[in-house]
Amino acid sequence: MPRYKLIIEYDGTHFVGWQRQENGMGVQQVIEEAITGFTGQDVRIRGAGRTDAGVHATGQVAHVDLARDWKADTVRDALNAHLRAHRVAILSAQAVGEGFDARFSATARHYLYRLIDRRAPLALEKNHAWHVPRRLDPDAMHAAAQVFLGTHDFTTFRATQCQANSPVKTLDSFSVIRASPGPDRDEIHLICTARSFLHNQVRSMVGSLKMVGEGKWTARDLAEALAAADRTACGPVAPPDGLYLTRVDY
């Protein structure tokens, strides 16, 4: 059966997450229903990452096997036509070999976390960034974030319900920059890359880095929390609103 790689963008605000679930609508489900509407097939797709409820994507990847050899552009356009009722878009479709697996073939996953540190509440960016009503220090956050680089036991920054076999992960990069244009420059981007992440790892790291940005923690405090390998040593977990899966490498 022909296999297609899909690159997907979605607003996760009103979804229970990427995965098809019993307690609400998942992104996976609405795409599978769009495929059924287009092809008549009852299919299951595999995604590169299982984003949580409220988490967004600008570059999620999935693969699907179709019974017919369709043109890739036809697959993209037909699925988008069936997805009109949802804030989900298929950015591209590409025919790939049967050896391609959206999850297991991935060599790196890239996440962006958007944080807006201003006194005024969010109007346009509500549900799409974390609003912190006090000024943060992104330089201190960036310096502290470097303690995460390399291979570590990330138990401290792992959800208690995480199903990964091991808490050991290798973080390739983590940068924190003040990113928004204009005189106020009130948006901070936290960007990290690894082959794979634990459940809630990025949001847990961001929440602890916010403590650094507020001056409540130092880089040493963050390093001690990591070394503790104890979930209770983690700072408050950042909300899902600001998290985006931006790219998956193969």
Catalytic residues: 52
Q: Let me know: does 57 contact 10? Beta carbons within 8 Å.
A: yes
Q: Let me know: does 157 contact 205? Beta carbons within 8 Å.
A: yes
d(CA 157, CA 13): 23
DSSP the chain: --EEEEEEEE--TTSSBSS-BTTB--HHHHHHHHHHHHH------EES--PBTT-EEEEEEEEEE-SS---HHHHHHHHHHHTTTSSEEEEEEEEE-TT--TTTT--EEEEEEEEE--SSPPSTTTTTSEE-SS---HHHHHHHHGGG-EEEE-GGGS-TT---S-SEEEEEEEEEEE---SSS--EEEEEEEES---TTHHHHHHHHHHHHHTTSS-HHHHHHHHHHT-GGGS-PPPPGGGEEEEEEE-
